[in-house]
Amino acid sequence: MNEETLQGLGPSVFRLLEDSLDDARAAPDLRETGVVRAVSRGIARVGGLSDVIDQELIRFPEGLVGLAVDLAEAGIGVALLGDHTKLEAGQPAWRTGRAIEVPVGHALLGRIVDGIGRPIDQKGEIRAEAHWPVERPAAPIIARAPVARPLHTGIKAIDAAIPVGRGQRQLILGDRQIGKTSIAVDTLLNQRGSGVIGVYCAIGQRAAGVARVIATLRRGGMLDQCVIVVAGPEDAPGLQFIAPYAATSIAEFFMAQGRDVVIVHDDLTRHARTWRELSLLLRRPPGREAYPGDIFFVHARLLERATRLREDHGGGSLTALPIVETQAQNLSAYIPTNLISITDGQIYLSPELFHKGQLPAIDIGKSVSRVGGRAQLPAWRSIAGDLRLFYAQFEEFEAFARFGTQLDASTRQALERGRRVREMLRQDEHAPLAASSQIGLLLATIRGWLDEVPIASLAAAEAAIVERIVHALPELCRRIEDGQPLTDDDHACLQTAVVESARTLPPPARAGSS
């Protein structure tokens, strides 16, 4: 064929050639097809695939996918990300050459997705802006900025004594059923209208519990600002394992846009158990408490991705609130100690306080925030320092007073005031309070402006004070929330508001001060 004839055929030949080349590229490469050797709960052993990389996506018939987690000579171990009951030995498996990816973007807000971002809320397809790998490297040190802005939880005991900053990793830990999830959900609720985006990742949680969280967020008007990632106990272990990484990628997308994001991992105890189960099935050598040797790295590389970025790197932040369940208050078990050392502080919930009805059951003495203090609003910082010390002293006095000791007047007064502070730290769930109201209440009890109010009337007084502060002092509230310190005039203003609202209260039904 000479050149003229070729030109005569025009571009159509080239298109044909290109099309057939594309077809050739799309056709399965025989070298990249393996065979399933064995299938056990959530795991497939696949032979005949060479050059597979760790965490690669492997395809099986009928749309089933899996994650390559164990690369052995004898065959690779694949954690299946779906129903494995139809998969049998002898069936083919294909390499994809790609890492597992999740859809990311604004279309995910208000949606409920599974462990790899597939919608499960019957609201139709998600129009993703991009697909991001589930495992991404954490931001390098050079891109990170120190934690400097507060992330208000709306919970008095936390914002005052264990403040959390944007970009911090704060562990919530405690035995079962003592309000761990409630604290995380209240923190999400408190972000309503603040522009902070929430990601709630449920790992191995019962469906009823997750439904309750979703209903609470919807009622609180926060669901549209949240993404819910759910890997239930009946889902494949592979899905439960990958869910928090996927949720973090979803959150990182918003962080990369300069947004502040808070992610809740509920909970990492179950996540660790899932990884232990998969590792034992893969016949990896078990270590302490039968967990595999890499369990620390599994959580460290997940939480390392939470950070605050420098302004010239977009300025977004990702705050992580991982939850861990302890057994019989054993903080020195393997997984809790790992997570305590990975995170920047912990909020410890005590079953004793819970059973006494002191809710939220936060044990201030055993809780700590290692970086959040720097981010606390100046108005708060000036009084919060007193609070920890004062409260610790009060608890000691109280323990001492139980022996029926004769107490001097000043100790008696400290005890009375301490009881009021403790009462003030009580808070119903799903009722987060604005920073200015919290500061007003804290000042009122610590400075003794409410010493005359009987403890039985404190809850009513609190409501009246909050009402008064919000309505009568909007300008002061704005200044506090803008991060300005309180002046002497502000203190006087707050004191008047507190004392006047306490005066308007009806006399308590039961006289007496405790």
List residues with catalytic annotation: 370
Question: Closest distance between ligand ATP and the C-beta of residue 178, in Å?
Answer: 5
Instruction: Specify whether the CB–CB gap between 319 and 166 falls below 8 A.
Output: yes
Instruction: Specify whether the CB–CB gap between 113 and 228 falls below 8 A.
Output: yes
Question: Closest distance between Mg ion and the C-beta of residue 196, in Å?
Answer: 21
| Nearest alpha-carbon partner for 339 in 363, 317, 376, 306 | 306
- The answer to whether 501 contacts Mg ion (rule: CB under 5 A) is no
Selection from Mg ion, ligand ATP, none that 177 binds (CB < 5 to 8 A by kind) is ligand ATP
Question: Closest distance between ligand ATP and the C-beta of residue 358, in Å?
Answer: 9
> Which tokens sit at 488?
């002497």
Closest-approach residue to Mg ion (CB): 181
Selection from ligand ATP, Mg ion, none that 308 binds (CB < 5 to 8 A by kind) is none
| Nearest alpha-carbon partner for 456 in 413, 494, 513, 410 | 513
> Which tokens sit at 249?
């990628």
Is 70 or 186 the residue whose CB approaches ligand ATP more closely? 186
The Cα 127–Cα 404 span in angstroms is: 68
Is 111 or 271 the residue whose CB approaches ligand ATP more closely? 271
Question: Closest distance between ligand ATP and the C-beta of residue 111, in Å?
Answer: 23
- Pick out residues in 219-278 that bind Mg ion (CB under 5 A): none
What are the backbone dihedrals phi and psi of residue 148, each rounded to the nearest 5 degrees, phi first?
Answer: -135, -15
Selection from ligand ATP, Mg ion, none that 218 binds (CB < 5 to 8 A by kind) is none
Is 181 or 343 the residue whose CB approaches Mg ion more closely? 181
Selection from ligand ATP, Mg ion, none that 135 binds (CB < 5 to 8 A by kind) is none
**Where do the H-state alpha helices sit in 162-303?**
180-189, 207-219, 237-256, 268-281, 295-303
Strands (E), 118-232: 130-133, 171-174, 197-203, 226-231
Instruction: Specify whether the CB–CB gap between 61 and 34 falls below 8 A.
Output: no
Question: Closest distance between ligand ATP and the C-beta of residue 350, in Å?
Answer: 12
Residues that bind ligand ATP (CB under 6 A): 176-182, 325, 359-360, 427-429
Is 43 or 178 the residue whose CB approaches ligand ATP more closely? 178
> Which tokens sit at 305?
């991705």
Question: Closest distance between ligand ATP and the C-beta of residue 301, in Å?
Answer: 24
Is 175 or 416 the residue whose CB approaches Mg ion more closely? 175
Which residues 6+ apart lie within 8 Å of 45 measured at CB? Answer: 36, 37, 38, 39, 74, 75, 76, 77, 78
Q: Which stretch binds Mg ion (CB under 5 A): 139-147, 178-186, 273-281, 461-469?
A: 178-186
Selection from Mg ion, ligand ATP, none that 269 binds (CB < 5 to 8 A by kind) is none
Question: Closest distance between ligand ATP and the C-beta of residue 137, in Å?
Answer: 31
| Nearest alpha-carbon partner for 253 in 130, 139, 149, 169 | 130
Selection from ligand ATP, Mg ion, none that 182 binds (CB < 5 to 8 A by kind) is ligand ATP
> Which tokens sit at 118?
């597939």
Selection from ligand ATP, Mg ion, none that 427 binds (CB < 5 to 8 A by kind) is ligand ATP
Is 82 or 179 the residue whose CB approaches ligand ATP more closely? 179
Beta strands at 226-231 and 197-203: parallel, antiparallel or unpaired: parallel
Instruction: Specify whether the CB–CB gap between 34 and 62 falls below 8 A.
Output: no
Is 416 or 429 the residue whose CB approaches ligand ATP more closely? 429
What are the backbone dihedrals phi and psi of residue 492, each rounded to the nearest 5 degrees, phi first?
Answer: -60, -45
> Angle at CA 385, nearest 5°, toward 383 and 391?
95
Is 55 or 205 the residue whose CB approaches Mg ion more closely? 205
- The answer to whether 181 contacts Mg ion (rule: CB under 5 A) is yes
> Which tokens sit at 412?
């008696």
Question: Closest distance between ligand ATP and the C-beta of residue 361, in Å?
Answer: 7
DSSP letter at 429 equals T
**Type of residue numbered 485:** P
> Which tokens sit at 414?
């400290």
Selection from ligand ATP, Mg ion, none that 325 binds (CB < 5 to 8 A by kind) is ligand ATP
Q: Which stretch binds Mg ion (CB under 5 A): 167-175, 177-185, 376-384, 403-411?
A: 177-185
- The answer to whether 216 contacts Mg ion (rule: CB under 5 A) is no
- Interface residues with Mg ion (CB under 5 A)? 180-181
